[in-house]
Structure 1
Amino acid sequence: MVEINRAKMRVAVLAGGRSSEREISFSSGKNVVDALRTAGFGEVEMLDPASETFLSDLTGGSFDVAFIALHGEGGEDGKIQSVLDFCGIPYTGSDVTSSALAADKDLSKVMYERAGIPVAPGVSLVRGQSYDLDEILSIVSDHCFVKPAVNGSSYGITYVKKAQDLQAAIDVAFGFGDKVLIEKRIEGTEITVGVYGGDNLRALPIVEILKQEDADFFDLRVKYISPDKIHRIPAQISEADYSRAQELACAAHRALGCMSVSRSDFIVSEEGPVILETNTIPGMTDTSLYPDEIRHTDDLTFPEVCASFIQMAIDRAEK
Structure 2
Amino acid sequence: MKKNIAIIMGGYSSEYKISLTSGNVVYETLNPNKYTAYRIHIFKDKWVYVDKSDNEFPMDRNDFSVNVQGEKITFDCVFNAIHGSPGEDGYMQGYFKLLNIPHTSCDMYQAGLTYNKRDLLSVLKPYGIKTAESFYLNQGDTFNEDAIIEKVGLPCFVKANKAGSSFGVSKVHKKEDLQNAIDVAFKEDDEIIIESFLDGTEVSVGVITYKGETKVLPITEIVSENDFFDYEAKYLGKSQEITPARLTKSQEENVSQQAKKVYEVLKMKGFSRSEFIFKDGEPHLLEMNTIPGLTRESILPQQAAAANISLADLFDNAIEEALKK
d(CA) in 2 for partners of 1:37 and 1:224? 27
Task: Give matches, 1:99-178, under 5 Å.
Answer: 99-178=111-190
Partner of residue 218, structure 2: 205
Give the structure-1-normalised TM-score. Answer: 0.91
Letter of the 1:30 partner, please give it. Answer: N
Shift of 1:177: 0.8
Alignment partner of 1:13 is 2:13: no
When you count strand as a share of all residues, which structure comes out higher?
2
Cα distance in 1 for partners of 2:178, 2:236 equals 29
Give the C-alpha shift of residue 164 in structure 1.
Answer: 1.5
How do 1:1-319 residues align onto structure 2 when only pairs under 5 Å count?
Answer: 5=1, 8-37=2-31, 40-50=33-43, 52-54=46-48, 55-56=59-60, 58-60=64-66, 61-197=73-209, 200-212=213-225, 215-225=226-236, 230-298=240-308, 300-316=309-325
| Alpha carbons 1:76, 1:280 under 8 Å: kept | yes
- 1:225 deviates by 4.0
Matching residue's letter, 1:266: F
Counterpart Cα distance in 2 of 1:265 and 1:292: 15
Q: Matched residue of 1:230: which SS?
A: strand
Identity among equivalent positions (%) equals: 32
For residue 201 of structure 1, give the secondary structure of its aligned residue in structure 2.
strand
Q: TM-score, normalised by structure 2?
A: 0.90
CA distance in 1, matches of 2:88, 2:133: 25
| More contact order relative to length (CA 8 Å, sep ≥ 6) | 1
Distance 1:16 1:53, change over 3 A: closer
What SS class does the counterpart of residue 262 from structure 1 fall into?
strand
CA–CA distance in structure 2, aligned partners of residues 107 and 166 of structure 1: 23
Unaligned stretches of 5+ residues in structure 2:
49-58, 67-72
Q: Please say if residues 108 and 256 of structure 1, whose CA atoms lie closer than 8 Å, have aligned partners that are also in contact.
A: no
What amino acid sits opposite 1:29 in the alignment? Answer: G
Let me know the Cα RMSD of the aligned residues: 1.7
Give the Cα–Cα distance (whole angstroms) in 2 for the partners of residues 21 and 220 of structure 1: 10
In 2, the alpha carbon distance for the partners of 1:292 and 1:53 equals 31
- For residue 236 of structure 1, give the secondary structure of its aligned residue in structure 2: coil
